[in-house]
Amino acid sequence: MSTLASALMVTGGVVAVLAGIGVLRFSTTYARLHAAGKASPVAFLIAAIGAGIELGVAGSASLLIASVAMVLTLPVGVHLLFRAVHRTADNDHLIVDELAPAELAARKPPVD
Confidence at residue 9, expressed as pLDDT on a 0 to 100 scale: 95
| Residue 93 belongs to a domain | yes
Across the chain, which has 112 residues, the per-10-residue mean pLDDT values are 92 94 88 87 92 87 90 88 81 75 74 66
Confidence at residue 112, expressed as pLDDT on a 0 to 100 scale: 64
Confidence at residue 43, expressed as pLDDT on a 0 to 100 scale: 92
Number of structural domains (the chain) is: 1
| Residue 9 belongs to a domain | yes
**CB distance 85 to 29 below 8 Å:** yes
Confidence at residue 87, expressed as pLDDT on a 0 to 100 scale: 78
- The SS3 call for residue 67 is helix
pTM: 0.75
What is d(CA 88, CA 107) in angstroms, rounded to the nearest whole number? Answer: 13
- For 10, the domain range is 3-107
**CB distance 47 to 9 below 8 Å:** yes
| Residue 28 belongs to a domain | yes
| Residue 23 belongs to a domain | yes
| Residue 67 belongs to a domain | yes
Contacts of 30 (CB under 8 A, 6+ apart): 82, 85
Cβ burial of 46 (10 Å; 0-12, 13-18, 19+) is: buried
| Residue 112 belongs to a domain | no
Confidence at residue 6, expressed as pLDDT on a 0 to 100 scale: 94
Confidence at residue 17, expressed as pLDDT on a 0 to 100 scale: 95
| Residue 84 belongs to a domain | yes
